[in-house]
Amino acid sequence: MSAVRFIDVPNMIRWVSSRGVEAIIGEMAAVVEEDFRRWHEFEKTPRIASHSLTGVIELMPTSDGDIFGFKYVNGHPNNPLGGLQTVTAFGMLADVSSGYPVFISEMTIMTALRTAATSAMAAQHLARPDSRVMALIGTGSQAEFQSLGFRALLGINEVRIWDTDPAAMAKFAHNARALGFDVHEASSAADATSGADIITTCTADKVNATVLTDAMVGRGVHVNAIGGDCPGKTELEAAILDRARVFVEYTPQTRIEGEIQQQAPDFPVTELWEVIDGSRPGRTSPEDITVFDSVGFAIEDFAALRYTCAAVEGTDFYTHLDLVADPTDPKDLFSFAVGSGADRPVVQAVHG
């Protein structure tokens, strides 16, 4: 039997509760950075997207030659109106040499962790080292994870927040204060960004919006733009990009989905891996405005899956799935399928 390790939602919750969100994000960020440093080892392609009037369903594949990974993810902004998550996901790792899957996990929670890990890791390279205050424009499901990521990697503990939904602001303020954050509930986006060293934008509406205006972004600010992630959805006024040094994950994908879809096809950007490996500069002075135009890329999910798979090894935070038909005689699938002879399937639960 070829058993595949599997983390379902209850086990993911147990693991996150046991290890701690802040610790996981910090450790995951190191693995994401490690995989960005070996960028050239990976197969890269923009994600495969199926768009509808209500949202998008995407596949995000990559391989480093030894391991293949993919994530299935959706984005449906109106889902919360029906009590559903805006984003859900699951992912898999497989052995390239055999093609057999080896690890499957829920990725709704994991994607929130890896998005925060990537954001904070990028800010380590792009934000001013003396940054102490972050503004959050959008306090939905990603907000607490982002705050914990920036505290883990940059020491940020003061957060200024704004959301058009008062309930979302109240939810975040309650959760964040319980986590030890100093929270300012702003009266507007402009109020939230006043005095901020880092501005994170993370809104859900699938529209070209101006969540952050040029006037809100002063010299030296780092903008972590993570809400614009599909064609026709942006958050930043284009004038901000004209004044900033803009950094992206994978340029062909970001030109379709990111903030730079507002710009000409030759608008200059730097891929983040180039800063991480030292081949191109990031921030060049305390006065620079830096923008991380992040849409999420498959290598980040690969790193998150790789980290999680290793982190839970030898624990009881996973079970096994008998997912692959694996007859004794690989050329006699029929006998296995009909349950004859020695290949009669045996149903059993296997636990890690």
For tokens 């790193």, what's the residue? Answer: 303
Same domain, 171 and 292: yes
Q: Is residue 118 part of a domain?
A: no
CATH number of domain containing 182 = 3.40.50.720
Same domain, 272 and 135: yes
Query: Where among 296, 315, 335 does a domain terminate?
Result: 296
pLDDT digits (tens, 9 = 90+) for 257-282: 999 999 999 999 999 999 999 999 99
Same domain, 291 and 176: yes
Same domain, 278 and 182: yes
Domain count, the chain: 2
φ/ψ bin of 314: left (φ > 0), alpha (ψ from -120 to 50), beta (otherwise): left
Q: Is residue 121 part of a domain?
A: no
Least confident of 5-9, 209-213, 278-282: 209-213
CA–CA separation, 183 vs 175, rounded Å? 10
For tokens 């490690």, what's the residue? Answer: 34
CATH number of domain containing 55 = 3.30.1780.10
What residues make up the domain containing 74? 2-109+300-343
Same domain, 241 and 270: yes
CA–CA separation, 38 vs 25, rounded Å? 20
pLDDT (0 to 100) of residue 262: 93
Helices (H), the chain: 9-19, 21-37, 108-126, 143-154, 166-178, 189-193, 238-243, 251-257, 272-276, 298-311, 333-338
CA–CA separation, 219 vs 227, rounded Å? 22
How does residue 350 score in pLDDT terms, banded at 50, 70 and 90?
very low
Nearest to 72 by CA among 91, 54, 100, 85: 91
pLDDT (0 to 100) of residue 75: 86
Same domain, 59 and 144: no
* pTM confidence score: 0.92
pLDDT digits (tens, 9 = 90+) for 233-244: 889 999 999 999
Q: Is residue 90 part of a domain?
A: yes
CB 141 within 8 A of CB 203: no
User: Does 351 or 268 have the greater pLDDT score?
Assistant: 268
Whether residue 266 lies in the annotated active site: no
Q: Is residue 52 part of a domain?
A: yes
> Which of 35, 229, 288, 293 does the annotation list as catalytic?
229
Same domain, 288 and 306: no
CA–CA separation, 136 vs 279, rounded Å? 31
Amino acid at site 77: P
CA distances (Å), 120 to each of 13, 29, 104, 197, 282, in order? 22, 8, 26, 13, 15
Same domain, 163 and 285: yes
Q: Is residue 122 part of a domain?
A: no
Same domain, 170 and 256: yes
CB 146 within 8 A of CB 181: no
Same domain, 171 and 278: yes
pLDDT (0 to 100) of residue 87: 85
Nearest to 199 by CA among 136, 115, 285, 152: 136
Same domain, 98 and 21: yes
> Is the confidence at residue 296, as pLDDT, over 80?
yes
Q: Is residue 119 part of a domain?
A: no
Same domain, 286 and 267: yes
